[in-house]
Amino acid sequence: MIKAGIIGGAGYTAGELVRILTYHPQVKLDFVYSTSRPGTPVSGVHQDLIGEIDLLFSGEINTEVDVVFLCLGHGNSVKFLAENKFSKNTKIVDLSTDFRMDGNHDFVYGLPEFKKDAIKTANFIANPGCFATAISLAILPLAKAKKVEDEWHVNAVTGATGAGVSLSATTHFTWRDNNFSAYKSFEHQHLNEIGQSLKWLQPDFDATVNFIPNRGNFSRGIHATAYTKFTGSLEEAKAIYTEQYKDAAFTFVTEENIHLKQVVNTNKCLLKLEKFGDKLLITSVIDNLLKGASGQAVQNMNLIFGLPEDSGLHLKASYF
C-alpha cells in the first residue's frame, strides 16, 4: 500500500483528495495536516465523509510517507518545503502555482496527456491549474501537430469552488445567485502555463492566447470554448485529436453536444470539434476540482507508482 499524506487539509481540493484516497485500492491515507484544526475529525469539515472515515486532522507531519500532496495557497508551497524536509523517497505533488513554470526546480508539469513519460520517472509534480487543464487539452493537440496558424480566442466559465473555500464578496451566495461576471480578462495567471505548454510543443508559436475567464452561478465545473483560424478540414482536425487522445484514460473526443453534467464528479475531459468557415472551434468541459485539481493529482500519483492510470478514479458523473 502507498502511504499518503495531505498538507493543508481543510480546502475543497483536500476534501476531494481525502475522498478519492480513502477508496483508492492501493493507498492508505496516513495523515491530513492542518494548522487550524489539529485533533478534530476530518469529517467535521468534509461532511460528505461522515461515517466513512474516523481520521483526525494532524498537527504533525510524517516525513516518511511515500507521497505527499500539497494543498496550500499559492506561494505557500515554496515556503513550506523550505521549512519541512521529507524523505528522499517521498514523492511530492503540488497543487499550487508555485512550480508550474520552468525554473530552478525539479518539478515536472503534470499534464498526463502530454507529459506521461516524464511523470512516470518524476519525484516532484506540479499539478496544472483548472482553467489551464481545460484549455490546454482543447488546444495543445493542434500545437503538437504544428498546426496553430493564428491567435487563440478562449472564453471559459468556472463554478464557485474555483475560488477556493475562503469566502469573499464574489463567492457569497447572494452575489453568485442568478449572476454571471468576467474577471482577470486577458491576464489570468493560468495563461502563463498555457503559453509555456504551447511553446514546448510548437516552438515557433508567437501569437496570443486571448482568454476571458468568467464566474458562473453553479458550484463546480469548467466549460471552455476555444477557436482559432485553421485552414485544414474538420476531418483533419478530428484525426489529430483522435490520434492524440486514443490512449488517454480520461480525455475523450465526442460528436455529441457536451455540457457540465457529463463530467462533474469525474476525472474526465470531454472535447467536441466544429468548423465554421476558416475557424476551428473546440469545446472542453471538466470538473475543476477533479480533472482540474485533485483527480489529476491522483492520476499523476498512479503514473509515478506504476499503477493503472485510472486506479481509484472510476467516478460517476452527477448527471441527474
Cβ proximity of 151 and 209 under 8 Å = yes
> Structure pTM?
0.95
Q: What Å distances lie between residue 11 and 70, 80, 95, 145, CA to CA?
A: 11, 17, 12, 38
How confident is the prediction along the chain (320 residues), in pLDDT tens digits per residue? 999 999 998 889 999 999 999 999 999 999 999 988 889 999 999 999 999 999 999 999 999 999 999 999 888 999 999 999 999 999 999 999 999 999 999 999 999 999 999 999 999 999 999 999 999 999 999 999 999 999 999 999 999 887 666 667 777 787 788 888 888 888 888 899 999 999 999 999 988 999 999 999 998 999 999 999 999 999 999 999 999 999 999 999 999 999 999 999 999 999 999 999 999 999 999 999 999 999 999 999 999 999 999 999 999 998 88
CA distance 68 to 5: 5
Position 271, amino acid? L
Cβ proximity of 261 and 280 under 8 Å = no
Cβ proximity of 302 and 312 under 8 Å = yes
Closest CA to 47 of 25, 19, 7, 6: 19
pLDDT of 208 reads 92
Neighbours of 39 (CB within 10 A): 9
Compute φ and ψ for 261, nearest 5 degrees: -65, -15
Residues that are catalytic: 130
Pick left, alpha or beta for residue 51 (phi over 0 → left; psi -120 to 50 → alpha; otherwise beta): left
Q: What Å distances lie between residue 175 and 164, 179, 182, CA to CA?
A: 16, 7, 13
Beta strands in 137-216, from DSSP E residues, in sequence order: 152-158, 181-182, 209-215
- DSSP H helix total and E strand total for the chain: 9, 13
Compute φ and ψ for 284, nearest 5 degrees: -135, 135
Compute φ and ψ for 282, nearest 5 degrees: -120, 125
For 231, the grid coordinates are 485552414
Half-sphere exposure (CA, 13 Å, Cβ side) for 55? 25
Torsion of CA 193, 166, 19, 100, to 10 degrees: 20
